[in-house]
């Protein structure tokens, strides 16, 4: 089976919504992935920030294998120990508080948060929502209604919900948009799909205060940023705040599909019996994987590794002198490399040719989100290769 064969079969069998991806991956070990032709890549995107422990980590493989030999599915009709352990562990990492609902994905976690906010709004005479321009919260219809990326939103509107969008990072605009009729504010701690755009210092604290002043719920979408990616368990912890509702997904399962919605205080008790559900949410195999991810991050000191290697990567890339490189932004192992021209797709292709998997998340931004186990030597390898990658796209003059 060659890459060409597999990609052709993919093109014939699947809906064309993704286009045909450029690489057919068949195996991996740590931060290294292999395609169907045997070419080796250093993985600096980790399946869009999902593969926290890299590929084929023994702790993940053992946890999944053991669980699937015990019981693979229970549904929500019965309790399984793994889902209870995971909910308890998430509560511990969040300071012992919160009520958890487990989902299969990030967009489902945000659907849960949205339903909580709708129920809160109906009970308190609050009718609309506020979200950020260029924000991304998922592609299911409720989450899509909160997504401020026009290119993916407009083809499927109009939407049933009244969602008002404000510029991300503009506290004054947020303050003007949020009144006592607003049910909830949905924000990411940094715009992910929007190009890894951090807010100004103090913005999230200001958003917290605005919600406190008006009574709107503050929903923090940490689908991409949580589970150690920025050097803390949850990105909002850098700002010393706590949202009313928190959503998680990508890195939680280390490659197994799982998400979570956590409500704090009274907002974790808004649902009554029958208000919400999921057949696969809380699946014991996915929960066992998530428990293995959390335990391994703690055991191997990966929060510190994310902060340390992330700084090395950011500083190294920032020091590259090239007319196509404008700057590097972000925190930990969640970085956006900003280009001076809209050549991100070309840079992604050139990086791939050089043996690095990266992601052109915006026309002028490359997103980096490697596994949390990435080593200093692997980060240095990308830094050292980056000038020639940029040269391959836009040769330096002189």
Say whether both 259 and 336 belong to one domain: no
Mark which of 299, 330, 351 sits at the end of a domain: 299
Say whether both 151 and 265 belong to one domain: yes
Say whether both 35 and 120 belong to one domain: no
Give the per-residue pLDDT at 396: 60
In a domain, 63, yes or no: yes
Mark which of 272, 299, 326 sits at the end of a domain: 299
Residue 394 has pLDDT above 90, yes or no: no
Say whether both 164 and 68 belong to one domain: yes
Say whether both 370 and 245 belong to one domain: no
Measured between its terminal Cα atoms, the distance across the chain in Å is: 44
Annotated binding site for N(2)-acetyl-L-ornithine: 139, 278
| Number of domains making up the chain | 2
pLDDT tens digits along 202-251: 999 999 999 999 999 999 999 999 999 999 999 999 999 999 999 999 99
Band of residue 395 on the pLDDT scale cut at 50, 70, 90: low
Mark which of 273, 299, 325 sits at the end of a domain: 299
pLDDT tens digits along 106-138: 999 999 999 999 999 999 999 999 999 999 999
Give the per-residue pLDDT at 397: 60
Please answer whether residues 355 and 398 qualify as being in contact, where contact means their C-beta atoms are separated by less than 8 angstroms.
no
Residue 365 has pLDDT above 80, yes or no: yes
Give the per-residue pLDDT at 1: 86
Cβ-based neighbours of 136, under 8 Å, separated by 6 or more: 147, 148, 149, 188, 191, 192, 193, 194
Say whether both 90 and 165 belong to one domain: yes
pLDDT tens digits along 46-103: 999 999 999 999 999 999 999 999 999 999 999 999 999 999 999 999 998 899 999 9
Annotated binding site: 106-107, 136, 139, 221-224, 278-279
Give the per-residue pLDDT at 56: 97
Residue 320 has pLDDT above 70, yes or no: yes
In a domain, 22, yes or no: no
In a domain, 185, yes or no: yes
Please answer whether residues 183 and 216 qualify as being in contact, where contact means their C-beta atoms are separated by less than 8 angstroms.
yes
Distance CA 114, CA 222 (A): 14
The whole-number average pLDDT for the span 18-36 is 96
Distance CA 153, CA 66 (A): 41
Residue 398 has pLDDT above 60, yes or no: no
Mean of pLDDT over the chain: 97
Backbone region of residue 32 per phi and psi (left: phi > 0; alpha: psi in -120 to 50; beta: other values): beta
Annotated binding site for pyridoxal 5'-phosphate: 106-107, 136, 221-224, 279
Say whether both 126 and 226 belong to one domain: yes
SS (H, E, C) 70-129: CCCCCCCCCCCHHHHHHHHHHHHHCCCCCEEEEECCHHHHHHHHHHHHHHHHHHCCCCEE
Say whether both 271 and 140 belong to one domain: yes
Say whether both 285 and 338 belong to one domain: no
pTM, to two decimals = 0.97
Give the per-residue pLDDT at 292: 98
Beta strands 32-35 and 40-43, pairing class: antiparallel
Write out the H or E segment, with its range, that includes residue 33.
strand 32-35
Question: What's the CATH code of the domain at 278?
Answer: 3.40.640.10
Cα angle at 85 between 257 and 91, to 5 degrees? 90
Strand, coil or helix: what is 221? strand
Say whether both 70 and 46 belong to one domain: no
In a domain, 397, yes or no: no
Say whether both 227 and 369 belong to one domain: no
Give the per-residue pLDDT at 50: 98
Say whether both 40 and 82 belong to one domain: no
In a domain, 21, yes or no: no
Please give the residue range of the domain that contains residue 66.
59-299
Question: What's the CATH code of the domain at 362?
Answer: 3.90.1150.10
């Amino acid at each position: 089976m060659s890459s060409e064969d597999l990609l052709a079969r993919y093109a014939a069998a699947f809906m064309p919504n993704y286009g045909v991806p450029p690489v057919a991956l068949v195996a991996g070990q740590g931060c290294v992935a292999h395609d169907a032709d045997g070419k080796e890549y250093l993985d600096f995107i980790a399946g869009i920030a999902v593969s926290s422990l890299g590929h084929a980590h023994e702790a993940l493989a053992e946890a999944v294998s053991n669980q699937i030999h015990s019981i693979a599915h229970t549904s929500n009709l019965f309790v399984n120990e793994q889902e209870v352990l995971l909910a308890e562990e998430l509560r511990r990492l969040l300071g012992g508080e919160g009520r958890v609902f487990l989902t299969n994905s990030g967009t489902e976690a945000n659907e849960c948060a949205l339903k909580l906010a709708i129920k809160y709004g109906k009970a308190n005479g609050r009718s609309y929502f506020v979200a950020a321009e260029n924000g991304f919260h998922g592609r299911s219809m409720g989450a899509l209604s909160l997504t401020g990326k026009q290119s993916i939103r407009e083809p499927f509107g109009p939407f049933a919900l009244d969602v008002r969008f404000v510029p991300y990072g503009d506290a004054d605009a947020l303050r003007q948009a949020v009144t006592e009729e607003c049910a909830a504010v949905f924000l990411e701690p940094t715009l992910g799909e929007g190009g890894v755009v951090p807010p100004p210092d103090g913005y999230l604290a200001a958003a917290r205060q605005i919600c406190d002043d008006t009574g709107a719920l503050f929903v923090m979408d940490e689908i991409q940023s949580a589970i150690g990616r920025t050097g803390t368990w949850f990105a909002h912890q850098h700002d010393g705040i706590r949202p009313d509702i928190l959503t998680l997904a990508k890195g939680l399962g280390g490659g197994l599909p799982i998400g979570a919605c956590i409500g704090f205080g009274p907002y974790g008790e808004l649902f009554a019996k029958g208000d919400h559900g999921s057949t696969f949410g809380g699946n014991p195999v996915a929960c066992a994987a998530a428990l293995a991810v959390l335990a391994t991050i703690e055991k191997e000191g990966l929060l510190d590794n994310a902060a340390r290697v992330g700084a090395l990567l950011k500083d190294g890339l920032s020091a590259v002198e090239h007319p196509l490189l404008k700057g590097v932004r972000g925190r930990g192992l969640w970085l956006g490399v900003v280009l001076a021209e809209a050549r991100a797709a070309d840079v992604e292709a050139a990086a791939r040719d050089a043996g690095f998997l990266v992601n052109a998340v915006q026309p002028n931004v490359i997103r980096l989100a490697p596994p949390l186990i990435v080593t200093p030597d692997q980060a240095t390898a990308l830094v050292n290769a980056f000038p020639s990658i940029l040269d391959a796209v836009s040769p330096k003059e002189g």
